[in-house]
Amino acid sequence: MTLTAPRSAARTPELTTNLPRWRGLVSPGSLSQEHFSPRNHETIATLPACTPEDVGAAFEQARTAQHAWSKTPLKERAAIVSRFHDAVLAHHELLLDVVQHETGKSRSSAFDEVADIGLTAQYYAKSARRHLKPAKRQGAFPLLTRTREYYWPKGVVGMITPWNYPLTLPITDALPALLAGNAIVLKPDAQTPLSSLAAIDLLYQAGLPRGLFQVVLGDGPTVGGAIIDNADFVMFTGSTATGKKVAQACGERLIGFSAELGGKNPMIVLDDAPFDRALQGTIPASFSNSGQLCMAIERLYVHDAIYDRFVPALTELVSGLRLGSDLDYSSDIGSLISQEQLNKVTSHVNDAVARGATVLTGGSARPDIAPFAFEPTLLENVSEDMELCRGETFGPVVAIYRFHSDDEAIALANDTRYGLNASVWGSPRRAEKIARAIEAGSVNVNEGFTASWASTDAPMGGFKESGVGRRHGREGIVKYTNVQTVATQRGMKVAAPKGMSPEKFAQTLIRGLRLMKKLPGRG
């Protein structure tokens, strides 16, 4: 394992210079909280923390701003998002510094966030009109019923986002909501608030009306609960356990919600897979963001015919990854986010080893690199009695298994309560057939997760306990609207004409229904 020692960043003063302005974007709070960097555990900033009353005040301001925003032409909203896209690219180095300071991730993983914002902003700025324009629908009676579908903004969308992608998750979920005419009240994770604040600052510089994007900080259950109590719609990204609580709270208020939750994602390597591509592709699929990614691969299934060649080659590749915490591109793998996360990853590995698993490479914490650094790790001989087998580790740890047939691979991949992402490597026709049989919202053929995630015109979300609703594509913006049908009836009314008995009217409708069946385009 190649290691690099942490160094100070020359650009840190720029981050410090912007802190007062970013702090000003946080809704006033009655409390305060300190914010630490996992790179060295030094204090980055002290920020306001909110009470439920503070959250309520933030929603009042957001509602006031939303009334005017909903009347702003969509073309003007899209122009702001387009300018924001340009601002993100122009200030990407600063954004990367902020993300790395807050998360300890590698710069390459931080860049994934910038690229994702660029893709999403560009996509929705160009496609929002197509998704939201009034749509002509088939009327009840041909030529006599004119039916149109319209989209109204929900109002104020409450967003609760995690620490693992603190720049892209709040912003890429917010952009379609804003384009649909909503205001936002966001609770970023307490460990990573500055990334979203830095991006929101750029949104305001791009022309977003003040007050439209409120940020509240503080204790998760308290502030998160207050968001659900006030929101017209909730977007949540986090654990399955918390997602179930969010769903219950939203259900009690009869408000809509969307949630991307956990995953225990499988990767299948067939015996006809492009060998070198599969080897190289396993690295980002498994170890991007130090494995702290809902879509990351944690279960690797390798066909028995190539297992004894593939696994040693992969072990050598993983052993050569560079572990570090510099604010540059010198490291392949960054730090974990916190002591809590380090404890969880360490516990999963130690439990597996104690029960008979074999560590092929890695397996240890590296506090000499960063307080919460953990080596990229491969294990085999992982069995059902191990916590690592079914529980989401959310770290740089992959369990490797053999399989003998396509049907066995499918059964193994589907043997989980999760269904977020999967990856299949092999000849396209065979791999695509397997992909369609896997119970997951996204399945990538000859890729880990980027191909589906970056296909922003296609919906992304989970099966089973991996989530409800979708982000990206038409579904990712229409979910932030109330859909209204307006039907105008001309000529014949939808009732028996004066003088016609109900029985005669029913017989007439029967004849009409039989005739309508023969017309094209119905159904």
* Active site members: 260, 294
Say which residue the tokens 């916590």 belong to. Answer: 387
Q: How many helices (H) and strands (E) does the chain have?
A: 18, 22
AA letter at 414: N
Query: Nearest 10 degrees: CA dihedral of 446, 450, 451, 452?
Result: 110
Q: Left (φ > 0), alpha (ψ -120 to 50) or beta: where does 447 sit?
A: beta
User: What's the half-sphere exposure (Cβ side, CA atoms, 13 Å) at 282?
Assistant: 32
CA 53 – CA 125 distance, rounded (Å): 35
**Which of 384, 391, 432, 394 shows the shortest CA–CA distance to 410?**
432
For 67-112, the three-class secondary structure string (H helix, E strand, C coil) is HHHCCCCHHHHHHHHHHHHHHHHHCHHHHHHHHHHHHCCCHHHHHH
User: What's the half-sphere exposure (Cβ side, CA atoms, 13 Å) at 500?
Assistant: 15
**Which of 192, 145, 171, 232 shows the shortest CA–CA distance to 37?**
192
Specify the 3-state DSSP secondary structure of 26: strand
CB-CB contact of 270 with 305 (8 Å): no
Residue 418 CB partners (closer than 8 Å, separation 6+)? 240, 262, 263, 264, 265, 392, 462, 464, 465, 466
b/e 367-406 (16+ beta carbons within 10 angstroms → b): eebbbbbbbbbbbbbbeeebbbbeebbbbbbbbbbebeeb
Specify the 3-state DSSP secondary structure of 51: coil
Which sign does the torsion angle of CA 204, 207, 210, 215 carry?
Answer: negative
CA 344 – CA 290 distance, rounded (Å): 14
DSSP 290: G
Six token digits for residue 163: 């620490």
CA 407 – CA 301 distance, rounded (Å): 12
Residue 282 CB partners (closer than 8 Å, separation 6+)? 267, 269, 297, 300, 314, 317, 398, 448
